[in-house]
Structure 1
Amino acid sequence: MSIATADSYRENFDNLKNRTSAINKRLKAESKEHKKSIQSMRGDNFNNNCDGCITSKTNVEGLDTNFGRIFAIMEDQNKIIGDTHKLMENVIDSLKSKEIYCFRDWINKFFNQVEQRYDAPNDDLRGWKKLIGAFDQKTSLGKVDFRNKDKEYISSLKSTLDKVQMSIDDFEKLYKMKEESNSEFHDQAKTLAEAESRLKMIQFPDQMKEYEESLKKLFEALKIWYSESE
């Protein structure tokens, strides 16, 4: 049984949009042909002055007016459909974000591995807490750089991350992603391989594209560190 994902919803939604677009094209084509017919009938009646022709002309004018009203209603309906499409796109993007935030469990595992390998400056027993506090302070206050007193802790983290080809920027993005998610976003994957496979299947929306590479590096790092423990 296939699992419904934001991508599958997006695919179905795009199909519906394409079908709606095709119908709109047909309606516009029919409308154009109808107007041509009305104009042709109107032109024929203008060239005749008989009483029957005048009556026919009146009927044509009424038909044209009625169709104009119907077409206006159809245009209003199209606007509503367009607004519905925009709403559905936002909902699908929200589902996509939820899928990605599910990886917070694996970010926690990654942080645990980093903590085990982190060499705090001067063997500071509270070094890891001070390091996390540095990231918390920087992101919470929207600072561009770390405080001077935190930089030696950041430097020690860099040494740990260098061994698995990750950067401070990768770590900060993962920290930020973890903070942005909440307790309802937990991954259903129980193994590293399953989680990594899910990651490869996800197409990141533009607003979350920055997290993709760091998540990939996270799994590579976990594979390296887990293999060291075997």
Structure 2
Amino acid sequence: MEDIIFGRNPVLEALEAGRDINKLVILEGSRDKTLQKIISAAKSKRLVIQFSERKILDRIVEGETHQGVVAYVAAYSYFELEDILAVAKEKEEVPFVIICDEINDPHNLGSIIRTADAVGAHGVIIPKRRSAALNQTVAKTSCGAIEYVKVARVTNIATTIDKLKEMGFWIVGTDMSNQTYYEANLTGSIGVVVGNEGKGMSRLVKEKCDFVVSIPMKGHVDSLNASVASGIVMYEVLRQRTLPKK
């Protein structure tokens, strides 16, 4: 099965990460420095390059912003939970995973993957049903992070949480609670649950969490975008992990 990714940074990251690319379509006549870097990298890998008019690239991406480059690639592969845990073991780091409970918007999923990479999380877990899949929108929104962050697709999030807890993980949910995210102890093996954009965490998943943290709100709206809220908590995990030991 073939898919496409587009945009300068996502395509460049795919090249540098060694992703299997079948063909590149690049805007003819462009002198953009990043596009020239992509062309040079593609030539060194002996990849097929097709130079085309802008209207052809526009047609391929169906109105999305391509920035002058489209890559035809094999569809993204999913990993197993064990593959994510193996990353932490190889790096000799305490495991840190992000658990997405029915994130339906591919832009949100892409943003979550991007932040997961930035904070050093070892992987992202999504359900097989009622979730955005890994596609070109997710790839573009992640700005190339999808090439480095392993995404596991599991049959049942609640069952997966049980498995993680048996391995010594603490599972933290993001929702309304008396405890703010910066008051919680987020050290140790941690799984951060990100709830659905509209409904938040499902009842069962919320019950499975060891504790739930909230983000203080002082404005006129009472909630944040799922990827923004999860990003705040992810960075608190990173902050606590990097605090100097007393």
- Normalising by structure 2, we get a TM-score of 0.23
Structure whose CA Rg is larger: 1
Q: Which has the higher helix share?
A: 1
Q: Which has the higher strand share?
A: 2
